[in-house]
Structure formats: C-alpha cells, structure tokens
Amino acid sequence: MSVLLQTGKVYLLRKQFNNIFSKCIFYRKKSDVSRKFVTFDEIVALRRAEARRSLVVQVNSESSFNELHGYCSKYASINDIHHYRNSGGEHFMLIEFNSEENLKDVLKSCSSHQKDVDVMGVQSPFLWFRASSGVREKYEQSIKQLAVKDGSKSVNEEVLYEELLNCDSVSDQIQMLYDRTVLNDIGVRLRYMVARQLEVVFSSLYANIRVQPFGSSVNGFGRMGCDLDLVLSNNLDEHNLISFVTQSSQKHRLVYQEKKSEGARSPSQRHMELLGALLELRVPGAGRVQRILNARVPIVKYSHELADVDCDLCCNNTSGVYMSELLWALGALDARVRPLTGAVRSWARAVALTNAHPGRWLTNFPLTLLVLFFLQQKQSGPILPSLNYLISLAGKEDIRVAEENLNCTFLRDLNKLPTDSYSQNDDDLQTLLFKFFEFYSQFEFQDKAISINEGRAIRKPNSLPLYVVNPLEQSLNVSRNVSYEECERLRLEVRNAAWHLESCLDGHKSDDWGILGLVEQKSSRGLKKLLRVGNSHRLVSVKDLFKDNDDVEPSTEGIRSKMEKF
C-alpha cells in the first residue's frame, strides 16, 4: 500500500473507487499492464484513510453548503463534499478534508458545549452546524470552487422503472438494475464513517482496536440501504500478529496487566454487554440498541439514525472479514458476477425466498454462494475458479488465520491467477440468469451439497434439506436453518422464474417483461408493488424496493439460529 502511495498511483485507484461496487475492478497503469486487479486490502486501506480525514455534519438544508464550506475552509482545505438526507428528512454533509491533520485543525474549533446538563459531549466524527447568531459571513466563492455531490439524488425510482421497461434486452435490464441500485460511493463512505466513529469512541477503553465493516457493505454485493456488519478486533495485521506472538514475550519485559472477566457470562458476552451500554450512552446517532448475547457469536444490533444505517456489531469475528474478502475477489474476477447476483438477490427477495430477518428461510449470504457455485460449473465453460484452486495458488503473503485457528488462506492478488484458468464463457447476463434458474430447477438438493471449495456438487453429509458448505469452515452448513418447505419453495420458484424468462423470448414487451416480472413484489393483499415506491429524494429510498415481505414476522429465535452458524 505504501508503495502505491509513494508512486502516486493513488489517483488511479481513487478514480476506480467511484465504480468499485458497480464494475469489475481494473487497475492498469502504463508501466505495468499485467496489474489488472486491486486487492481487497488496498481498497479497505484507502476507505479507512478517507474516513479518518472525513466528518459528517448535520445542517439545516442543502443551501447550508456554501456557509459550511466557507466556514470549514477557514481551518482546512477540503477534498470533497457529499450531501444526503436520512429517513427523518434531516440534511447532512459528508466532508472529506485533504489530510488527517486538516481534520484535526477543524476539530480544534469545535465546541462540545451543551445546554442540557444531562448530556455529556462526545468527540466523534458526527457533528452539527450551529446557525450563525450574528451577521452571516458571505461565502460566494465556495460554490465555484467545489460543487456538492448530492447522494440523495443518485437513484430515482420512477426513472429506473422507465429505464428498465425501455431496455433493449434482459441483459441490459440486469446491468441497469445493478448499476442503479448498487451501494454507491456515499453509501460506502458513510459505512466507513460509522466504523470510524466506534473506533474513536471506544479507543479510550480498548488499546489498539480496529472496527471494520464486513458483509455486503464491502463484499461488492451490497445494495443501497443494506445493513452494516461491523467487527471490533485487535488492530493486528498478519505480520504484526506473527511478530506479536513470537516477540512480545521475549523482547518486551513490561507487559500490561489484563482485565480478566468475572461472573457467569462468557468474556465475549460481557464485552458485548458493555458495548451495548456504550452505544446507548456514548455513541451519537446510535439508537434502538438490541443485545443478542446467547448466540455463538454474540452481537449488538443498533440503528444509526444520522447515517441511516442498521448495524450489527460483533467482536473478534475476523473470519467474517475474510469471507467478505473471498466474496469480493470472486465478484471482481468477472464483470458479470455482481450484476447477476444482484438480479438473483432481487428476485429472491421479491418472491420472499429471502428475508432480512433470519429464520427458517434463505438469507443473502448462502444465496450468493449458490450463484458463485453455479458460475463454477463446467457445462458451458466455468466463469469462476473453485476456491480450492485459489488456495493452491496462495503464497506466504496470503496466509491468514482467523479466530479459533481457522485457516482463511487463499490467493489474494488476482493478478497472479493464470488467465486461462477461468472465464472461457461468453454467455450474456440474460443467458446466465436463465441457466441459473434452470440449473437449480434440476439440482438434486436431496442428495447433493453445494461447495464453492470444490466447484462441484458433493455428497450431503446429513439429511438437512439444503446444504451449502461454509467455504472457510467446511464442516459447517451455512444454510442449516433452511426448512424443507423453504427448500421446496426454492425449487418451485426457480422453475417459475425460468418459465417467465423463457416466455420473454418472443420479444413481446409487457409491463412486467424480463427482469420486471422477477423483481416486483406481491404484497399480502395480493397487490403488486412496482418499483415506484417511497420517497424518491432519499439516498436509500430504493431499499424500499426490496423491503421485507409483510407476511413474515421477524424472530429473535431466527437471529439466534443465524448467529449459531458462525
């Protein structure tokens, strides 16, 4: 990473950022045409650095931009400003400064004075901009220097509906749906800001911690409004980890006393209890805190009202991050993987095969593995390699070990993958989507398990209805919660979907042609919900499109069963 910074290639990398979750990442520079792909670690490092020099400021309205920009420019130079609104209609500006030093200079000018004696000020990257009490300064210059990027206008559902209706082909529709609904730059920035906020607030209690997003916020399959999975862990990278383990006992003779946990609950449960309390008391924006402590990996759920994101926080679950890295890498290998997965996820939500609340049904994670597995099949030339192949190519620099000695080693730098080892297939997205449905309508779920490690179906080790091998812990089934009825529904719905796509081949364009007939939701009242729902001016309004089905109740039991699978 430091090499990249020194050689000034960061600009190239930053340019790709804007498209990071919408396209396969190509990283080409004149002197090194062989370097096509950015690594996950490079992206994470850049996003984290960006968050360290950014602030989120609540303002009165979009028109506060000029005043805020002028005010901050007195203290520091600004790289970028983005505007968004949360569900409550409140306005925010996400400001990225030129450097962390710049940000510190701005923070020196901040006041934490509160009128309310019950409220103790908290220093965090979420602030508000007080209305000017005296004569307003004029900041006409600002707008010319830097235009605000309005995150809230990035998706307009009515336009999207028309665009999908008017596409020339189903492939175009799939690509369009993906491009318009993929988690955008401001969505990613905000998620890293929420992680940064926890690092700032918790750092006085925990030495050298790191809070990292994982799951769909970073794995390349995230959509506007997706939840934010967060893990709090020690800030030790692999190299540090090795030197920490081998040297600390020998070289450093003074060692901090540790606080051992007492009481009936496990240490991780006690920590999560504390984090829950801190979220309630010390983290601005965090609300509706819910502790789920009896799972194998205890979590605290909360809603970040300022960033408008629902969060799940856990501790030391680094395998979740490596899993995200694996999914990210497979998604980056071929430009069709993410749009295809996006279409399948939208379809599954629309027919209520998946649901945001875990229970006896599928969730997006195993569903994504179903798509990746399909793309590894040999029928018309595999598009993706098996995980075993990526493991066989791994070098020393790829070694990663997660909690409980879980080996998460696989090839990280995709530039090292021989080009003839994948993607001999030039099917378009429409064909792939149809083949996906066809493949699973014929899949022998009763005998076979899905393993992206092997890239081929293997014998099921038990009689659970659906068996999807956990790629990083192969003795586990990530869909063990799925009931027989839900598995049967999956088989039925893939057949229906294949039939629908086949019926579109005659070229006749009705109002539910192609992808529209797959992603529209049927509500409990039998009414069709088209794409045109919700407030089109909100940043995350398109998530309404994929809202939970009214028929299914959230269940804590379901949440537990999900977490036990880790």
Residue numbers at the binding site for ligand GTP (CB under 6 A): 214-216, 219, 222, 226-227, 229, 320, 323-324, 363-365, 470, 478, 565-566
- Least Å distance, CB 242 to ligand GTP, is 24
Of 229 and 544, the one with the shorter C-beta distance to Mg ion is: 229
Residue 172 lies near Mg ion (rule: CB under 5 A): no
Report d(CA 31, CA 12) in Å as an integer: 13
Q: Is the dihedral of CA 495, 497, 499, 501 positive or negative?
A: negative
Exposure string for 298-318, b = 16+ CB within 10 A, e = fewer:
bbbbbbbbbbbbbbbbbbbbb
Residue 216 lies near Mg ion (rule: CB under 5 A): yes
Of 357 and 456, the one with the shorter C-beta distance to Mg ion is: 357
Which does residue 219 bind out of ligand GTP, Mg ion, none, counting CB within 5 to 8 angstroms by kind? ligand GTP
- Least Å distance, CB 297 to ligand GTP, is 9
Residue/partner pairs of 254-257 with CB below 8 Å, 24 or more apart: 256/207
- Least Å distance, CB 477 to ligand GTP, is 8
Report d(CA 396, CA 549) in Å as an integer: 46
Which does residue 477 bind out of Mg ion, ligand GTP, none, counting CB within 5 to 8 angstroms by kind? none
Q: 125, 215, 366, 514: which one contacts Mg ion (CB under 5 A)?
A: 215
Maximum separation of any 2 CA atoms in the chain, in Å: 77
Of 196 and 543, the one with the shorter C-beta distance to ligand GTP is: 543
Which does residue 315 bind out of ligand GTP, Mg ion, none, counting CB within 5 to 8 angstroms by kind? none
Which does residue 460 bind out of ligand GTP, Mg ion, none, counting CB within 5 to 8 angstroms by kind? none
Which distant-in-sequence residues (6+ apart) come within 8 Å of 195 by Cβ?
51, 211, 212, 213, 228, 230
Helix (H, G, I), strand (E, B) or coil at 548: coil
- Least Å distance, CB 226 to Mg ion, is 6
Which does residue 365 bind out of Mg ion, ligand GTP, none, counting CB within 5 to 8 angstroms by kind? ligand GTP
- Least Å distance, CB 41 to ligand GTP, is 16
- Least Å distance, CB 323 to ligand GTP, is 3
Of 430 and 479, the one with the shorter C-beta distance to ligand GTP is: 479
Of 313 and 375, the one with the shorter C-beta distance to Mg ion is: 313
Of 363 and 430, the one with the shorter C-beta distance to ligand GTP is: 363
Report d(CA 536, CA 542) in Å as an integer: 8
Which distant-in-sequence residues (6+ apart) come within 8 Å of 149 by Cβ?
80, 81, 82, 83, 186
- Least Å distance, CB 387 to ligand GTP, is 14
Helix (H), strand (E), coil (C) string for 111-137? CCCCCCCCCCCCCCCEEECCCCCCCCC
Report d(CA 141, CA 477) in Å as an integer: 59
Of 169 and 561, the one with the shorter C-beta distance to ligand GTP is: 561
Residue 59 Cα distances to 64, 69, 184, 535, angstroms: 6, 11, 22, 20
Q: Return the closest-CA partner of residue 481 out of 410, 376, 566.
A: 566
Provide the 8-state DSSP code for 182.
B
Which does residue 323 bind out of ligand GTP, Mg ion, none, counting CB within 5 to 8 angstroms by kind? ligand GTP
Which distant-in-sequence residues (6+ apart) come within 8 Å of 491 by Cβ?
440, 441, 445
Which does residue 360 bind out of ligand GTP, Mg ion, none, counting CB within 5 to 8 angstroms by kind? none
Of 142 and 212, the one with the shorter C-beta distance to Mg ion is: 212
Report d(CA 86, CA 225) in Å as an integer: 11
Q: 227, 413, 520, 544: which one contacts Mg ion (CB under 5 A)?
A: 227
Of 103 and 326, the one with the shorter C-beta distance to ligand GTP is: 326
Which does residue 470 bind out of ligand GTP, Mg ion, none, counting CB within 5 to 8 angstroms by kind? ligand GTP
Decide: residue 257, CB within 10 A, 0-12 exposed, 13-18 middle, 19+ buried. Answer: exposed
Of 127 and 408, the one with the shorter C-beta distance to ligand GTP is: 408
Q: In angstroms, how far is CA 382 from the centroid of its own chain? A: 26
Report d(CA 341, CA 429) in Å as an integer: 10
Which does residue 364 bind out of ligand GTP, Mg ion, none, counting CB within 5 to 8 angstroms by kind? ligand GTP
- Least Å distance, CB 222 to Mg ion, is 8
Report d(CA 360, CA 372) in Å as an integer: 22
* Stretch binding Mg ion (CB under 5 A), from 63-71, 194-202, 226-234, 549-557: 226-234
- Least Å distance, CB 307 to ligand GTP, is 16
Of 71 and 365, the one with the shorter C-beta distance to ligand GTP is: 365
Which does residue 285 bind out of Mg ion, ligand GTP, none, counting CB within 5 to 8 angstroms by kind? none
Provide the 8-state DSSP code for 26.
-
Residue 229 lies near Mg ion (rule: CB under 5 A): yes
Catalog residues that contact Mg ion under the rule CB under 5 A.
215-216, 227, 229
